[in-house]
Amino acid sequence: MTQHIFDKALALHHSDIRVGHFTGMTSPDYWNMVGPFGGTTAAVVLQSVLRHPDLLGAPIALTVNYAAAIEAGAFDVQATAVRTNRSTQHWTVQITQAGASGAPQVTTTATVVTAVRRDTWSLNDLPMPAVPGPGQVERMTIGPKGVAWIERYDMRPVRGTVPTQWDGSGDHSETLLWLRDIDPRPLDFPALAAMSDMFFPRVWLRRAKPVPAGTVSITTYFHADAAQLAEVGTGYLLGRAVGQQFQNGFFDQSAQLWSEAGALLATSNQIVYFKE
Amino acid sequence: MTQHIFDKALALHHSDIRVGHFTGMTSPDYWNMVGPFGGTTAAVVLQSVLRHPDLLGAPIALTVNYAAAIEAGAFDVQATAVRTNRSTQHWTVQITQAGASGAPQVTTTATVVTAVRRDTWSLNDLPMPAVPGPGQVERMTIGPKGVAWIERYDMRPVRGTVPTQWDGSGDHSETLLWLRDIDPRPLDFPALAAMSDMFFPRVWLRRAKPVPAGTVSITTYFHADAAQLAEVGTGYLLGRAVGQQFQNGFFDQSAQLWSEAGALLATSNQIVYFKE
């Protein structure tokens, strides 16, 4: 079986010298406009923790701060378990690249919490919106030209697609879409981390104006365990994203990802820089 | 003028030896059940960045991970500007305390993004709910016994107060309340960071059952600048919090804080551990 293109993007080489130190390569397949798709970067951060020999449990929370665009080529990831409790573990992760002088420059800071889950009372308090199934919705074909990563996904917008008329007519910031990898790949935590960053900038939709914008920080909470993700397999997820406040150069985005069966697998928030 | 009790809790002594290294003391006035009120810890993290000589701009995003309860007494804070761009700055912050062996133990990891804001198109896409004003709502007097920090705030619940009957009758997880410091103090970023962690555990409300619970990680986005906070002054904020998914030991909480005039000052999310 050929390696999936997303697994290639996630491939990390574990250093023999330093525990938790990995090297990776940016993926042209998931390239964004001026660096890798932020979702891939989030997935790489998470992958470094999942690959760490000291890992306890499964991902609960992931925060990734995009300090600078990662340049095409090699990068270093350092994952450090700074505190391990009985059932939770706290991680810091940094991605660095050699700068012009050769000295390592931080491109990405991150924190991760992992935990051993126990069976408890559970409840979904945010049901999946009633929408037509993925088979009833057409695949999106519109996207910014030259953005590779978008082509790696099958996106089927139900509401709030990328405007086709940039005429300032926007009146809401909500997108609902079905999505999955274009080449089927069973859902796992890195994929879910990447998919949480799937949505185009809310400001484009709200204003029907394509101003420059980029995620500054994203936080994703994982509500599913590995078994539940395996159950979703290669099925579609329903993603929802909405902006809450647009203010002097930054807006936030609140997002949710449900399985087609209606399980809320992840909730995610981000703060995004925009111009004008 | 006497120093406000919150400013005492935030007091940090800047080390002369190491840039960004501060020492502080836990505050009995903001004590929670087994450690300081998490909101105070978030405020201390932010304060270390605000006090740092290299600070650029104002807070945009704050993520605080509670790795272990801070014990009563002295603690160390290290704030590091890991990347400074033209208009944004990325920080890592750690709080440590001497462990049993005397070696420093990490109690708190955090990341902060600060930025110089520019005037841009701005819009509130999540209007404040229509509720009776703070003068029309009674101050909450019910709270867990022996929890000091709750007494430091004037909380006026509009909806979703702490259950008085723990009879398993809960049917929603939404709280709406007016809040401000019980002793008036002009709003600033550390206060807003603390107030974002103001809400009692959603699981108590949803289940009408007081199971053990504690915040694991909180992320707050700041949508206001210092001038807008100054405008709010000592006025009330309307806080809203709701749970989205409760699953095998963890639930998330989505929260918003508006000024009485309806400006969305901060949006905040957290993931919370719970038992049973």
pLDDT digits (tens, 9 = 90+) for B176-187: 999 999 999 999
Residue A215 sits at φ, ψ, to 5 deg, of -65, 135
For chain A, residues with pLDDT lower than 70 are 1, 142-146
If asked whether residues A185 and A254 sit together in one domain, one would say yes
CA A202 – CA A174 distance, rounded (Å): 8
Give how far B186 is from chain A: nearest CA, Å: 22
What distance in Å separates the CA atoms of residue A273 and residue B6, rounded to the nearest whole number? Answer: 31
Residue at A261 is within a domain: yes
Regarding whether A144 and A109 lie in a shared domain, the answer is no
- Cα of B5 to nearest chain A Cα, Å: 31
The mean per-residue pLDDT over the stretch B125-146 comes to: 88
List the single best residue of A85, A119, A125, A259 to mutate versus B (max B Cβ within 10 A). A125
Is B60 within the bounds of a domain?
yes
Confidence of residue B16 (pLDDT cuts 50, 70, 90): confident
CA gap A44, B35 in Å, rounded: 34
Within 8 A of A107 by CB-CB distance, chain B residues are 83
Cα angle A8, A9, A10; round to 5:
90
Specify if A140 maps to a domain: yes
Taking the Cβ of residue A227 and every Cβ of chain B, the question of whether any pair is shorter than 8 Å is answered with: no
How many domains is chain A partitioned into structurally? Answer: 2
Residue with tokens 């210092």, as numbered in its chain: B226
CB pairs under 8 A between A and B: 205
Q: Kindly determine whether residue B121 and residue A275, on different chains, have CB atoms separated by under 8 Å.
A: no
The answer on pLDDT for B1 being more than 70 is no
Q: How far is A90 from chain B (nearest CA, A)?
A: 6
Indicate whether A270 and A174 sit together in one domain: yes
Mean pLDDT of chain B: 95
Pair (A140, A257) in one structural domain: yes
Q: Is the pLDDT of residue B145 over 70?
A: no
pLDDT at A2: 85
**Percentage of residues in chain A having pLDDT higher than 90:** 92
Among candidates A207, A271, A273 on the partner chain, residue whose Cβ is nearest the Cβ of B221: A271
Residue A208 touches partner B, C-beta closer than 8 Å = no
Q: Is residue A185 domain-shared with residue A111, that is, in the same domain?
A: no
Give the residue from B87, B115, B143 where a domain finishes. B115
Of the residues B115, B149, B183, which one is the last residue of a structural domain? Answer: B115
CB contact under 8 A, A173 and B125: yes
pLDDT of residue A202: 98
For residue A120, is it within any domain?
no
pLDDT band at B207 (very low <50, low <70, confident <90, very high): very high
Contact (CB<8Å) B82/A90: no
- Among B80, B92, B121, B173, the strongest candidate for a mutation testing the A interface, having the largest count of A CBs within 10 A, is B121
Q: Note the pLDDT of residue A84.
A: 98
pLDDT at B37 exceeding the cut of 90? yes
pLDDT of residue A68: 97
Q: What is the pLDDT of residue A142?
A: 58
B152: pLDDT strictly greater than 80: yes
Instruction: Tell how many helices (H) and how many strands (E) occur in chain B.
Output: 5, 13
Residues A94 and A204 in one domain: no
- Is the pLDDT at B102 greater than 90? The verdict is no
A81 lies in the same domain as A166: no
- In degrees and rounded to multiples of 5, residue B5 shows phi and psi of -60, -30
B169 found inside a domain: yes
Q: What is the pLDDT of residue B142?
A: 59
The domain in which residue A93 lies consists of 5-115
A162 and A258 belong to one structural domain: yes
Tell me the shortest Cα–Cα distance from A1 to chain B, in angstroms.
Answer: 35
Do A220 and A101 share a structural domain? Answer: no
Q: Tell me which chain A residue has its CA closest to the CA of residue B274.
A: A120
Cα–Cα distance between B271 and A267 in angstroms, integer? Answer: 10
Q: Both A250 and A156 in a single domain?
A: yes
CA distance A198 to A187: 15
What's chain A's average pLDDT? Answer: 95
Domain edge (last residue) among B86, B115, B144: B115
Could you please report the per-residue DSSP string of chain A? -PPPHHHHHH-EEEPSSSTTEEEEE--GGGB-SSSB-HHHHHHHHHHHHHT-TT--SEEEEEEEEE-SPPPSSEEEEEEEEEEE-SSEEEEEEEEEEE-TTSSEEEEEEEEEEEE-------EESSPPP----GGGSPPP----TT-TGGGGEEEEEEE-PPPSS-SS------EEEEEEESS-----HHHHHHHTT-SPPHHHHHHT----EEEEEEEEEE---HHHHHHHTT--EEEEEEEEEEETTEEEEEEEEEETTS-EEEEEEEEEEE--
Q: Which helix (H) or strand (E) holds B203?
A: helix B202-207
Handedness of CA A98, B106, B64, A6 (dihedral sign): positive
Cross-chain CB nearest to B248 (options A67, A85, A225): A225
Are B149 and B231 contained in the same domain?
Answer: yes
CATH of the domain at B109: 2.40.160.210
Reported as a single tens digit per residue, the pLDDT across B75-94 is 999 999 999 999 999 999 99
Q: How far is B10 from chain A (nearest CA, A)?
A: 24
Q: Is the dihedral of CA B195, A274, A265, A8 positive or negative?
A: negative
Asked if residue A194 belongs to a domain, the reply is yes
Residue A122: inside a domain = no
Residue A34, in any domain of the structure: yes
CB within 8 Å: B248 and A83? no
Q: Is B97 in the same domain as B52?
A: yes
